[in-house]
């Protein structure tokens, strides 16, 4: 149900590493998203779903009931993780029609109640507006309706934020700090009537954050105008993993160095510097002479694992070792993503967490 919650200050968006109730996926169906390369994509989704199910429930949106049997067969073919059987009891296929599969950007963003003694629900979801990354592609009305459709199906309460925002454009530490980029949130193709101050006020009001930290630009090939989940991610309350490019001749070198300098200058809410850990950029990937937005920052944190995109280059091992060091209580599982990123996104873009209610 869609409603207005009067005391949003009692709620806060948890960090991605907080316990999950489930993960949402949208089974791929839009051939235009991976033009000429769609066939390898469903098996990768099946691998993602089977892997996630080992650690937590997976709720997969499919276009209709007719495909459910085929989708489950493809997931079953992947088997379980670590020699254990596939957890089919944790996989739910839900017929909800969508325009595309990037649920990170149009799915619900959940907030948990932090104020004791509040009579409101333990958890609410925020329904942000979705305009297809600044109106770059075709219809997105079905995607924009997903938070309401899910709220109706699962019975959670949702609040309308009345602002365009994609989930991949923000990252939070669960303790009141949010990280984003100027190139995306300040772009006039989202909320042209809103300035930086207006946007910060909305983020504070509807995500329960007190501190908004701004990076500059995203990476080359990113059609989202620079989502932060390809650039820098919180891996702890005071730790941020940031991608850097070692080659000064590469198009990503200068903007990522600028972001790194900004990160080192930032201070947390206590006035202390963050711990900044760097991730490499993978070797450049191109398709038809188009630079693809491949980044190890596009990982997804589950209850017991981190799913990391891999791209078939030497930097894969470095990135996996770095993430393993950052998440010692989780295993880091590499998901081959060179074909996924032809659709201009990877693991984090395709997932949306439903945190366990507080």
Query: How far apart are the C-alpha atoms of 73 and 70, rounded to whole Å?
Result: 5
| β-bridge partners, 125 | 110, 158
From 132, 140, 184, 349, active-site residue: 349
Helix (H/G/I), strand (E/B), else coil: 278: strand
From residue 152, alpha-carbon distances to 2, 147, 157, 294 in Å are 8, 9, 9, 35
78: annotated active-site residue: no
Please say whether the beta carbons of 231 and 256 come within 8 A: yes
110 is written with which tokens?
């959940």
Q: Report how far residue 119's alpha carbon sits from residue 7's, in angstroms, rounded to the nearest whole number.
A: 10
Q: What is the dihedral of CA 284, 287, 292, 294, to 10 degrees?
A: -60
CA angle 182/160/190 to nearest 5° reads: 30
41 neighbors 343 (Cβ within 8 angstroms): yes
Q: Alpha-carbon distance 272 to 175, whole Å?
A: 14
Rounded CA gap, 308 and 297, in Å?
8
Instruction: Return d(Cα 102, Cα 343) in angstroms, integer.
Output: 10
- The answer to whether 358 touches 266, Cβ cutoff 8 Å, is no
Residues 6+ apart with CB under 8 A from 187: 134, 225
Structure tokens at 345: 């996104």
State the Cα–Cα distance between residues 208 and 118, nearest whole angstrom: 15
Under 8 Å CB-to-CB from 119, ≥6 apart: which residues? none
Q: Give the tokens for residue 26.
A: 């949208």
* Burial group, residue 57, by CB count within 10 angstroms (0-12, 13-18, 19+): middle
Q: List the catalytic residues.
A: 349
């Amino acid at each position: 149900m869609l409603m207005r919650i009067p005391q949003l200050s009692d709620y806060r968006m948890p960090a991605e590493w907080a316990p999950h109730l489930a993960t949402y996926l949208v089974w791929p169906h839009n051939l235009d998203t991976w033009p000429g390369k769609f066939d390898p994509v469903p098996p990768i989704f099946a691998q993602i779903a089977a892997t996630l199910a080992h650690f937590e429930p997976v709720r997969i949106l499919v276009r209709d009931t007719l495909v459910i049997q085929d989708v489950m067969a493809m997931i079953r073919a992947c088997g379980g993780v670590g020699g254990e059987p596939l957890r089919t009891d944790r996989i739910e296929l839900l017929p909800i029609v969508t325009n595309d599969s990037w649920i990170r950007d149009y799915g619900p963003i959940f907030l948990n109640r932090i104020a004791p003694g509040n009579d409101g629900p333990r958890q609410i979801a925020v329904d942000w507006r979705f305009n297809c990354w600044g109106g770059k592609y075709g219809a997105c009305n079905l995607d924009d309706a997903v938070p309401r459709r899910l709220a109706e199906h699962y019975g959670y309460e949702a609040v309308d934020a009345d602002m365009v925002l994609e989930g991949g454009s923000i990252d939070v530490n669960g303790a009141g700090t949010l990280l984003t980029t100027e190139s995306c949130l300040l772009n006039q193709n989202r909320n042209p009537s809103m300035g930086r101050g207006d946007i910060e006020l909305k983020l504070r009001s509807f995500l329960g954050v007190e501190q908004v930290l701004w990076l500059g630009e995203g990476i080359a090939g990113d059609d989202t105008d620079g989502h932060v989940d390809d650039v820098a991610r919180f891996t702890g309350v005071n730790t941020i993993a940031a991608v850097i490019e070692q080659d000064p001749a590469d198009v990503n070198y200068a903007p990522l160095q600028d972001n790194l300098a900004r990160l080192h200058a930032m201070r947390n809410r206590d006035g202390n510097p963050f711990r900044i850990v760097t991730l490499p950029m993978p070797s450049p990937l191109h398709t038809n002479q188009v630079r693809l937005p491949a980044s190890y920052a596009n990982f997804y944190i589950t209850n017991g694992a981190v799913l990391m995109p891999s791209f078939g280059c030497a930097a894969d091992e470095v990135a996996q070792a770095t993430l393993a060091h950052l998440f010692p209580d989780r295993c880091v599982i590499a998901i081959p993503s060179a074909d996924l990123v032809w659709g201009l996104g990877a693991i984090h873009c395709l997932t949306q967490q439903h945190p366990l209610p507080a």
